[in-house]
Amino acid sequence: MLALAALLLLVLIRDSWSAISTFGAGFLLSTEWNPVAGRFGALPFIYGTLVSSLLALAIGVPLSLGIAVYLTEIASPRVRAILTPVIELLAAIPSVIIGLWGIFVLAPFVREHLAEPLMEHLGFLPLFKGPAYGYSVLTASLVLAIMIIPIISSISREAILAVPRLQKEGALALGATRFEMITSVVLPYARGAIFGAIMLGLGRAIGETMAVTMVIGNTPKLFTSLLHPGYTMAAVIANEFTEATGDLYLSALIEIGLILFIISMLVNVLARLVIRHVRVPGGA
């Protein structure tokens, strides 16, 4: 597995060598993406990927944990039996279909119903400055959030189910309410696995291509407003690879692939290191 990853890394480096040698470290810092002039910079894509993924986590994680807690501790067995497979089924929807739904339903919704109140009440923040486009970073993050909810919620659900009954009864026997038991004993006990689930979700969000490119607006700029369009690394590769003319253009796209690969690896390694610290001894 490690050898395969190393081989992949080598191929990516070889094929992006002409871009690496032409632009050097400037490739990571430049915001210019001008195929006609032959000048390429990756910063808007790196930035777009990170912002949209983290925003997706910010939206998706609380919802996922809420769903996991509801399904394990609150829902009646009947509701649980119906909802659990429904949420897991969300993971089976092809991302291009979610992208289409994003175009026809979510983007208009964001433009007409969500952006308005955001601009009105939070418009003083650069984050929510208008004008509002339907195809925006916010729309892309919402789509990503929907795509990572099934992963994070189902792994968290398993982790919560694995919390021993003796732990829960220990809290209740001290006079804890159900809510106190969940927030102070159950979730902390399962935090190792929940953190792992969040990292898996982040990995998915960083790599997701099709659904994002369909709704993010594909504009290589360092946006400040979430209501404006952006671009991600995966999206630019998918959009421009087939029409890339010239070796340098192609090589620059492959270098973006290389960066995406490295960032994904880093997230993974970092997650493993952190999990070792947050995991509860004897816990999940």
Partner 1 sequence: MESKIEVVELNAGFGSTHVLKNITLSIPRNKVTAIIGPSGCGKSTFVRCLNRIHELVPGAWVRGRVMLDGKNIYDSDADPVEIRRRVGMVFQKPNPFPAMSIFDNVAYGPRIHRMKNIQEVVEDSLRKAALWDEVRHRLKDSPVSLSGGQQQRLCIARALAVKPEVILFDEPCSALDPVSTAKIEELILELKESYTIVIVTHNMQQAARVADYTAFFLMGELIEFGETAQIFENPRDKRTEDYITGRFG
Please identify which residue in 51, 185, 214, 267 interacts with partner 1, judged by CB under 8 A: 185
Main-chain phi, psi angles of 34, to 5 degrees: -130, 90
**Any contact of residue 169 with partner 1 (CB under 8 A)?**
yes
Tokens of 93: 């929807």
The answer to whether residue 123 forms part of the interface with partner 1 (CB under 8 A) is no
Any idea which residue has 């994680």 for tokens? 61
Cβ proximity to partner 1: between 85 and 282 the closer is 282
41 backbone φψ class: left, alpha, beta (φ>0; ψ -120 to 50): beta
Given the rule CB under 8 A, which of 19-27, 119-127, 170-178, 212-220 is the region that contacts partner 1? 170-178
Q: Which stretch binds partner 1 (CB under 8 A): 95-103, 176-184, 208-216, 220-228?
A: 176-184
Query: Contacts with partner 1 in 234-273 (CB under 8 A)?
Result: none
Ramachandran quadrant class, 6 (left: phi over 0; alpha: psi -120 to 50; beta: rest):
alpha
- Element at 68 (helix H, strand E): helix 43-69
Task: Report the site for partner 1 in 77-96 (rule: CB under 8 A).
Answer: 77
- Piece of 65-73, 82-90, 171-179, 215-223 that binds partner 1 (CB under 8 A): 171-179
CA–CA gap between residue 281 and residue 189 (Å, rounded): 9
Over the window 44 to 83, marking each residue x when it contacts partner 1 by CB under 8 A and - when it does not, the resulting string is ---------------------------------x------
Q: What 3-state DSSP class applies to 175?
A: coil
C-alpha–C-alpha distance, residues 193 and 214, integer Å: 32
- Measured CA angle at 172 (ends 168, 176), to 5 deg: 120
Q: Is 166 in the site for partner 1 (CB under 8 A)?
A: yes
Give the Cα separation of 96 and 94 in Å (integer). 5
Give which of 172, 169, 167, 183 is closest to 68, Cα–Cα: 183
Query: What is the total count of residues that contact partner 1 (CB under 8 A)?
Result: 24
CA 276, CA 1: separation in Å to the nearest integer? 22
Q: Which is nearer to partner 1, 155 or 186 (CB)?
A: 186
Q: Which of 54, 91, 188, 261 binds partner 1 (CB under 8 A)?
A: 188
Nearer to partner 1, 37 or 173 (CB): 173
Q: Is 173 in the site for partner 1 (CB under 8 A)?
A: yes
- For 233, the enclosing helix (H) or strand (E) is helix 233-240
Residue span binding partner 1 (CB under 8 A) among the ranges 5-13, 14-22, 111-119, 275-283:
275-283
Question: Between 113 and 178, whose beta carbon lies closer to partner 1?
Answer: 178
Q: Which is nearer to partner 1, 129 or 191 (CB)?
A: 191
The residue ranges that bind partner 1 (CB under 8 A) are 77, 164, 166-177, 180, 184-185, 188-189, 191, 280-283
